[in-house]
Amino acid sequence: MTDVLDPPMILEPEGHDEHLEEHHGPTGILKWITTTDHKVIGLSYTVTAVIMMVIGGAFAEIIRAQLTTPNNTLVSLAQYNELFTMHGSVMIYLFVGPFAFGALANIIVPIQIGAPDMAFPRLNALSYWLYLTGSITMLSGFFVAGGAANFGWVAYAPLSNSINTPGSGADLWIGGLLLTGFSAIFTGVNLCATVFYLRAPGMTMFRMPIFTWNLLVTAILILLAFPVLTAGLIMLYCDRHFGTHIFSVAGGGVPVLWQHIFWFWGHPEVYILALPFFGMVTEIIAVFSRKPVFGYKGMVFATITIGALSLGVWAHHMFTTGVVLLPFFSIMSLLIAVPTGIKMFNWIGTMWRGEVWFSTAMLMAIGFLITFLVGGLTGIYLASPPLDFFTHDTYFVVAHFHSIVMALVMGAMGGLYYWGPKITGYMLNETYGKIQFWFLFIGTQVFTLPQYLLGLRGMPRRIAIYPLHPSWEFLNQVSTVGAVLVGISTVVFMANIVVSWKKTPAGDNPWDGHTLEWFTTSPPPHHNFYRLPQIRSERPTWDYNHPGHTAAEHGHSAPHRDETPVA
Amino acid sequence: MSKVSCVEPPALSPQGVSDRTRRWRRLRRIVTLPIAALALAGCTVPTFGASPGATTSSQSVYHLWQGFSIGAVIVGGFTLLLIFWAVIFYRRKSDNIPKQSQYHIPLEMTYTIIPVLIVLGLFAATLVVENKEVALPKSDVTINVNAFQWGWEFTYPGQNVVVTGQTTQDPEMIMPVNENVHINLTSSDVTHGFYVHAFNFSRYALPGILNQFTLRAVNTGTYNGQCTQLCGLYHSLMVFRVKVVSQSQYSAWLTGEANVAAAKAAKTATNQQTSSITPTKPAKSKGGY
């Protein structure tokens, strides 16, 4: 490694931004509607996804309020079924997923690899509009006769057929999911093409930031998994309206086939949701520890391994059906713990002997580590069929995946605090951020941990009342308190946006970042860069700013040990 | 798993019912030891929120649960310790740039290989319990359980006895203690979940598929059961009870019920032709393991 200060490549003389910004025609709302700029589309994604989070969160609060007493009549049984169905659907399909691969990914991935935009900007715009129309379609179920879909977010056949669920809310659910599914597929195509073809000179695959790597694997998983869901949804629609009998016993069909199709998409989907947030957390931990990602290549291989294994574990959701080969799906599911564990230790290794700065983003990342650890360890139980028989469809499972998803939410919030200044040009208030973190972190533990116990005491999921089990009341009330704390954290976040609105300019590189997005202006110009540094590692901006501190090849043989203070 | 000491090798009990498990015999010997040790030391090992339950299987599931939990507490505790160590001792104290170390191959190998070994251990323990739990030994009693929206029907084939109940009048499944009870589980409409908390066990009732399993209760008593898989409007109320009674009580109950049923059948037969009160046994499917 040479410690030479490379001059940056000049792409566009600085000061020409007016010309770049202005000649693009419409302004205001027309600009927003017609834009193909990945940053504007990404921001639309972000805002829409956060609105979905608020809607889904409101459903959650009603659900938790209903469960505070065993015989509560706040909502009817029918309304309760709609609420948890739409809570799950909105959170998984309309918030976490699009936020993971549509929002920050759209904005950051092209910049991290030094590209001017996504490979197919118009397709990218189509993705967003499909996502928005799909979301509206799904939610409009609340306004039709019979109400929204009420068969759970997994829509198990034959409960989801036209006899058991006749309402058009179910059709709107299917239609909305088809639209957002296509949106995801197009985004997958776009991310793959962008990463494979638009990398800047010098940006080899093994110099890509971990966030971009994770989005690449996510995109490949999207391309493998989402078409299966789309096909399944079309089959379901045909069963409901065109007289086919794919999932009906009466016509010679097999209901359990839906579960296979759904989970063949559904388990990769878990990693489609998780990997982008793993990437965000990796970037945040490295930057705020002022160290390179520990075990960078191991991290990449762990991501690829997770992606590969995730395609062979779907039937662990179906252990209790009695029609799947238990040992195969058990060992495959257990093995996912290994690359996930590697990631965990790499994150810790990145912090080790670093200079850890507890900004809000870093607090969120640490909150992610702890919450994800809880969710990950309880996931190992569920990979063991006998223990799955014991806990399946109880609150233990509910608690497990809420630990995981709430960890992802912390990752998302970390990502917003980390990249928000880059996207908007203004800092978010750190005090509000830290208040938000503590409400979110403590609230998450208070609402998930009692649910593990409830599951172990036999409380099934998706029940609105529990008249025979008054002993479950107390833990449910604790859980509700936790959910309220999480709700307060969202309010604090909203308040922070208002308080920080165009207040403190961020500057180009507020966190002393590692990757290319911190080399350009905040917000970046229309085609992202006026100049690029030489790309010699996965940390081009760091290398440019700290020429004496490139990463050591091996922990034992670091070429330099000087700890020069930086101005 | 392997963290448990004080092993008594002769504590192994012969349990090979299916010769399918033969190939795991050697493996099983290795992994049953800690489980047996846990069983012996049952009162000193924490419950981790679970309970031994009322069947032979539920007890092995409980011990497996304890084993997994010990592993989870050790691994999770160690990882948390590392996280907190990093958070406390490496917090930013200056503007110095720390050593930019990125790779440490031996360390990375270590935290790859050790998890693989742990996972293999967990898998082996899983296999032992699982093979026992899903085995279908020779049974003394058969009960056909049929789930429907929103209730349960328990049929005792050949005995002319059917117990049916919906939502609030929860039906009771009577079964004898210390006997292998073979359950044929089916559904008339949508997917339901047959779940008895005290048995540490659940299984889907699927339309068109016959699910079979064996329950062997070791304690008498009445246990709550409930549908766990969302099945529509009254899912919350789809409850039942399992009453485990002594063999003599079971026989007496069965005879009594059969007489009542016969009397009822004779009464109604005068007015109209009734179909057989015992539903036909569901067709055998390829479901199972």
3-state secondary structure A245-274: CCCCCCCCCCCHHHHHHHHHHHHHHHHHHH
Partners of residue A296 in chain B, C-beta under 8 Å: 102-103
B228: distance to nearest CA of chain A, Å? 5
pLDDT over 70 at A65, yes or no: yes
Chosen for mutation from B230, B233, B237, B239 (greatest number of chain A CBs closer than 10 Å) is B230
d(CA A368, CA A231) in angstroms, rounded, equals 34
Partners of residue B205 in chain A, C-beta under 8 Å: none
B280: distance to nearest CA of chain A, Å? 17
A490: distance to nearest CA of chain B, Å? 25
Instruction: Tell me the pLDDT tens digit for each residue of A118-165.
Output: 999 999 999 999 999 999 999 999 999 889 999 999 999 899 999 999
Q: Is A342 on the interface with B (CB under 8 A)?
A: yes
Give the ipTM: 0.90
The reported pLDDT for the residue numbered A233 is: 96
d(CA A198, CA A118) in angstroms, rounded, equals 8
Give the least confident one: A181-195, A412-426, B18-32: B18-32
A526: distance to nearest CA of chain B, Å? 33
Confidence of residue A567 (pLDDT cuts 50, 70, 90): very low
Partners of residue B90 in chain A, C-beta under 8 Å: 289, 351-356
The answer to whether the CB of A534 falls within 8 A of the CB of A6 is yes
Chosen for mutation from B228, B231, B240 (greatest number of chain A CBs closer than 10 Å) is B228
Instruction: Tell me the pLDDT tens digit for each residue of A222-259.
Output: 999 999 999 999 999 999 999 999 999 988 899 999 99
Q: What is the mean pLDDT of residues B261-286?
A: 57
Confidence of residue B35 (pLDDT cuts 50, 70, 90): low
User: Cβ contact (<8 Å) for B83 and A370?
Assistant: yes
- In Å, how far are A156, A259, B86, B130, B205 from A256, measured between CA atoms? 8, 5, 47, 22, 11
**DSSP H/E element including B93:** none
Q: What is the pTM of this model?
A: 0.89
B233: distance to nearest CA of chain A, Å? 6
- Find all residues with CB under 8 Å of A200, minimum gap 6, and list them: A113, A114, A115, A516, A532, A535
The answer to whether the CB of B143 falls within 8 A of the CB of B173 is yes
Instruction: Tell me the pLDDT tens digit for each residue of B174-233.
Output: 999 999 999 999 999 999 999 999 999 999 999 999 999 999 999 999 999 999 999 999
Peptide bond before residue B150 is cis, with ω within 30 degrees of 0: yes
**High-pLDDT (> 70) share of chain B, %:** 78
User: Cβ contact (<8 Å) for B201 and A380?
Assistant: no
User: In a 10 Å sphere around its CB, with 0-12 CB exposed, 13-18 middle and 19+ buried, how is residue A253 labelled?
Assistant: buried
The reported pLDDT for the residue numbered A26 is: 74
Q: Is B101 helix (H, G, I), strand (E, B) or coil?
A: strand
Partners of residue A293 in chain B, C-beta under 8 Å: 102
Q: Report chain A's mean pLDDT, rounded to a whole number.
A: 92
Smallest Cβ distance to A380: which of B50, B72, B212? B72
pLDDT over 60 at B247, yes or no: yes
Partners of residue B193 in chain A, C-beta under 8 Å: 320, 392-393, 460
Q: What is the mean pLDDT of residues A329-344?
A: 95
The reported pLDDT for the residue numbered B268 is: 76
Q: Give the domain ranges of chain B.
A: 9-134, 141-271
User: Cβ contact (<8 Å) for B193 and A460?
Assistant: yes
CA atoms within 13 A on the CB side of A290: 25
Partners of residue B115 in chain A, C-beta under 8 Å: 337-338, 341-342
Phi–psi pair at A296, nearest 5 degrees: -50, -50
Partners of residue A537 in chain B, C-beta under 8 Å: none
B155: distance to nearest CA of chain A, Å? 21
Chosen for mutation from A320, A537, A542 (greatest number of chain B CBs closer than 10 Å) is A320
- Find all residues with CB under 8 Å of A508, minimum gap 6, and list them: A518, A519, A520, A521, A522
Beta strands in A407-475 (DSSP E): none
Confidence of residue A12 (pLDDT cuts 50, 70, 90): low
Q: What is the mean pLDDT of residues A58-74?
A: 95
Q: Give the domain ranges of chain A.
A: 9-545
pLDDT over 60 at B266, yes or no: yes
Q: Measured in whole angstroms, how far is the alpha carbon of residue A242 from the centre of its chain?
A: 35
Q: Is A482 left (phi over 0), alpha (psi -120 to 50) or beta?
A: alpha
Structure tokens at B176: 């004898």
Q: B141-271 maps to which CATH number?
A: 2.60.40.420
User: Cβ contact (<8 Å) for A159 and B230?
Assistant: yes
pLDDT over 80 at A205, yes or no: yes
A324: distance to nearest CA of chain B, Å? 7
Confidence of residue A550 (pLDDT cuts 50, 70, 90): confident
Q: What is the mean pLDDT of residues A185-206?
A: 96
User: Cβ contact (<8 Å) for B64 and A349?
Assistant: no
Chain B, nearest residue to A546 by Cα: B97
Q: Count Cβ atoms below 10 Å from residue A19 Cβ, excluding itself.
A: 10
Chosen for mutation from B20, B101, B168 (greatest number of chain A CBs closer than 10 Å) is B101
Nearest one of A458, A385, A388, A384 to B71, comparing CA atoms:
A384
Instruction: Tell me the pLDDT tens digit for each residue of B140-185.
Output: 899 999 999 989 999 999 887 888 887 667 799 999 999 999 999 9
The reported pLDDT for the residue numbered A108 is: 96
The reported pLDDT for the residue numbered A565 is: 45
Smallest Cβ distance to B64: which of A159, A355, A384? A384
User: Cβ contact (<8 Å) for A355 and B206?
Assistant: no
A457: distance to nearest CA of chain B, Å? 7
pLDDT over 70 at A24, yes or no: no
Chain B, nearest residue to A158 by Cα: B190
Partners of residue B195 in chain A, C-beta under 8 Å: 392-394, 458, 460
Q: What is the 3-state secondary structure (H, E, C) of A297-345?
A: HHHHHHHHHHHHHHCCCHHHHCHHHCCCCHHHHHHHHHHCHHHHHHHHH
The answer to whether the CB of A211 falls within 8 A of the CB of A280 is yes
User: Cβ contact (<8 Å) for B230 and A156?
Assistant: yes
User: Cβ contact (<8 Å) for B79 and A344?
Assistant: yes
Smallest Cβ distance to B203: which of A290, A320, A356? A320
DSSP β-bridge partners for residue B161: B156
Partners of residue A81 in chain B, C-beta under 8 Å: 230, 232-233, 235
User: Cβ contact (<8 Å) for B129 and A159?
Assistant: no
Give the least confident one: A139-153, A417-431, A435-449, B34-48: B34-48
Structure tokens at A20: 């770049």
Instruction: Tell me the pLDDT tens digit for each residue of B59-74.
Output: 999 999 999 999 999 9
The reported pLDDT for the residue numbered A353 is: 92
The reported pLDDT for the residue numbered B94 is: 86
The reported pLDDT for the residue numbered B23 is: 55
Smallest Cβ distance to A566: which of B95, B102, B233? B95
Q: What is the mean pLDDT of residues A45-68?
A: 96
Confidence of residue B38 (pLDDT cuts 50, 70, 90): low
Interior angle at CA B208, CA B203 and CA B210, nearest 5:
45
Instruction: Tell me the pLDDT tens digit for each residue of B71-121.
Output: 999 999 999 999 999 999 999 888 888 999 889 999 999 999 999 999 999
Q: What is the mean pLDDT of residues A277-302?
A: 96
The reported pLDDT for the residue numbered A282 is: 97
The reported pLDDT for the residue numbered B288 is: 33
The reported pLDDT for the residue numbered B93 is: 86
In the A/B pair of chains, how many CB contacts fall below 8 A?
A: 290
A199: distance to nearest CA of chain B, Å? 24
Please state which architecture CATH assigns to domain A9-545.
Up-down Bundle (1.20)
Q: Is A301 on the interface with B (CB under 8 A)?
A: no
